[in-house]
Amino acid sequence: MEILNIDCLILIFNELSSDNNSLYSCLLVNKEWCHLVIPILWGNYPNYTICINSTEKFFNIILSCLSTSSKQLLIDNNIRLSQTILSKSSFNYVSLCKFLKIEIINNIINMIFRKEILTNVDYSKERDLLEQEIYKLFVSQCEGIKELEWQSSQPIVSFPGASTGFSQLYNLNIDLFYVNSNSLYEMSQICKDLNELTIKGCSQDIPGLISLIDAQRNLKSVSFDFQTKEGTCEELSKALARKGCTINNLSLYGSVDIIPLSFLMSLNNLKDLIIYYDFESYGRILKFQKYLANSKFPDLQILDISDDLLCFKELSMLIENTNGNITDIFVYTSNKSAENTGMFINSISNNCPKIEFLTTYLGPKDLIHIKSLLKNCRNLKSLRFNSLNEIKNIGDGLLNILAKFSPKSLSNISISGKWKYSVGSFENLFESYKKRRLLHFDIHDEIVYITTEHAKVVKKYYDEGVIAYSNLIITGTSEY
């Protein structure tokens, strides 16, 4: 039998990386295969813990990689380690890791202090010591961590090996509740090639965070969760504007009121825009509307906006300034008196030929725009129409338009339960899908006008294989 060379084996094992059970069986073949497979498996957490059928075994392997001095320090402080942990590992497994996740650290700690947790014994001092030694292990042994969840007050940037371990960071997730400005500044001196940056708990300008952002050479994706309305983030806004040429994914959540959104106009290469915001100041709302209307994102592909006062007019103007590459649009609002929904749908119809997923609202005069939308956007896969005001009489018109003009690609439909539908309009829609398949047909909001007769029609076409899934079949209706 001809023996494959190492390069071929590595290619094969990397192709198997999505099938961890098969890959795991390969390491049992012989010693050579084992040495090639182990690094790939350890780069696939948490899938590796699934294929060995034991997260506890996985955590014990990590602890077994602790240095002799660390193990002794833990024992001297009454931290119990099993004999498995105390024995020497066959591999330096931790050195193969490309991740440092808070989930791993916390789960290891919970495993060691299981008894203390159950009996409510104070173990905070021992917990901090164990956490410190685990972080020191990863930082000192991993030469190229790619992903870090920084949610600890441990001075990890000062641990031995930090300058090497964090120099190749690709994805950094920071919780500002734990991490101070000085630590962020230290990280900015080490880490300069971040691709993704996620910040939680942002409430004011932090000099160390500004330095970290400025230090990045190719920052593409940024996400901020603003937790308070008391501070201001003017310098943060300027720092993001300075990265306008590289950032192409932006996500803003929470109290966006505290950051001036003028930086939006500098993000000329933006592809994904997600804003779930909370404005208390009407003046800030007006400024936000202005920035939306005047921003130009020619390469925009994903638009996801949610607030209490959705700006359909300004969003329409934003869409008109794109180059037709949008594939996903999701808009949500709790303001049932929002206007210009028809203008918004019309702008999508005229400017988004590649759109596949759309969630929006319908007003009383919007059905004419739905017809154009379906005729112009032939790649649509999923549609969700939400209700505004107290409109009741557009249900049959909507279903009839969907039956006549839906593209073949449209396989997921979700419509409001606040609209009135005749049983016949249900049948008409499902008959139009007999030569294809409706993967999902859902009724959302309050199911006010759906009766058992509607549900029977859905069940009939489900039994015939026309509908693959409907929540009417699973949950029934309020009249059952």
What pLDDT does 50 receive?
A: 43
Among 260-269, 391-400, 421-430, the range with the most confident prediction by mean pLDDT is 421-430
Domain that holds residue 11: 1-53
Q: 353-372 pLDDT, tens per residue?
A: 999 999 999 988 899 999 99
pTM confidence score: 0.85
Q: How does residue 51 score in pLDDT terms, banded at 50, 70 and 90?
A: very low
Estimate to the nearest angstrom the gap between the alpha carbon of 159 and the chain centroid: 30
Yes or no: say if 403 and 428 are a contact pair by the CB < 8 Å rule.
Answer: yes
Provide mean pLDDT across the span 244-265: 90
Q: What is the mean pLDDT of the chain?
A: 86
Given a cut of 70, whether residue 47 has pLDDT beyond it is no
Question: Contact, 358 vs 335, CB < 8 A?
Answer: no
Confidence of residue 81 (pLDDT cuts 50, 70, 90): confident
Question: Can you tell me the distance from the alpha carbon of 22 to that of 5, in angstroms, rounded to the nearest whole number?
Answer: 20
E strands in 102-170: 147-150
Query: Comparing 111 with 29, which gets the higher pLDDT?
Result: 111
Other C-beta atoms closer than 10 Å to the C-beta of 434 total 12
- What confidence tens digit (pLDDT) does each residue in 181-217 have? 999 999 999 999 999 999 999 999 999 999 999 999 9
d(CA 261, CA 271): 17
CA 96, 102, 108: angle at the middle one, nearest 5?
Answer: 80
Q: What is the mean pLDDT of residues 371-395?
A: 90
Looking only at the bridges linking them, the beta strands covering 99-100 and 147-150 are: parallel
Q: State percent of the chain over pLDDT 70.
A: 83
Q: What is the radius of gyration, based on Cα positions, of the chain?
A: 27
pLDDT score of 78 more than 80: yes
* Average pLDDT of the segment spanning 313-317: 92
Under 8 Å between Cβ of 251 and 224: yes
According to DSSP, residue 385 is labeled: E
Residue bearing the bigger pLDDT, 2 or 397: 397
44 within a domain of the structure (yes/no): yes
pLDDT computed for residue 480 by the predictor: 38
Determine which of 95-99, 220-224, 280-284, 383-387 has the lowest per-residue pLDDT on average: 280-284
Number of domains into which the chain is organized = 1
User: In the prediction, which pLDDT does 295 show?
Assistant: 87
Domain for residue 25, yes or no?
yes
41 within some domain: yes
Is residue 321 within 8 A of residue 346, CB to CB? The reply is no
Least confident of 121-130, 187-196, 468-477: 468-477
Q: Note the Cα 469 to chain centre separation in Å.
A: 25
Distance from C-alpha of 318 to C-alpha of 330, rounded to nearest angstrom: 14
Give residue 478's pLDDT.
Answer: 43
Is the residue at 8 inside a domain? yes
Q: What is the pLDDT of residue 404?
A: 95
For residue 44, what pLDDT band results from cuts at 50, 70 and 90?
A: low
Residue 42 lies in a domain: yes
Kindly state whether residue 429 falls inside one of the protein's structural domains: no
* Number of other CB atoms surrounding residue 84 within 10 Å: 12
**Which tens digits make up the pLDDT trace of 406-461?**
999 999 999 998 899 999 999 999 999 998 899 999 998 877 788 899 999 999 99
User: Which of the pair, 439 or 474, is modelled with greater confidence?
Assistant: 439
Residue-level pLDDT at 99:
85
Look up residue 370 and give its two tokens: 């739905």
What angle do helix axes 55-64 and 102-112 make, rounded to 10 degrees? Answer: 90
Q: How many residues does the chain have?
A: 480
Q: What is the pLDDT, as a whole number, of residue 119?
A: 86
- Is residue 124 over pLDDT 50? yes
- Residue 225 lies inside a defined structural domain of this protein: no
Q: Is 311 helix (H, G, I), strand (E, B) or coil?
A: coil
Decide if 6 is inside a domain: yes
Beta-carbon count within 10 A of 200 CB? 20
Lowest mean pLDDT among 2-16, 59-73, 185-199, 383-397: 2-16
pLDDT band at 16 (very low <50, low <70, confident <90, very high): low
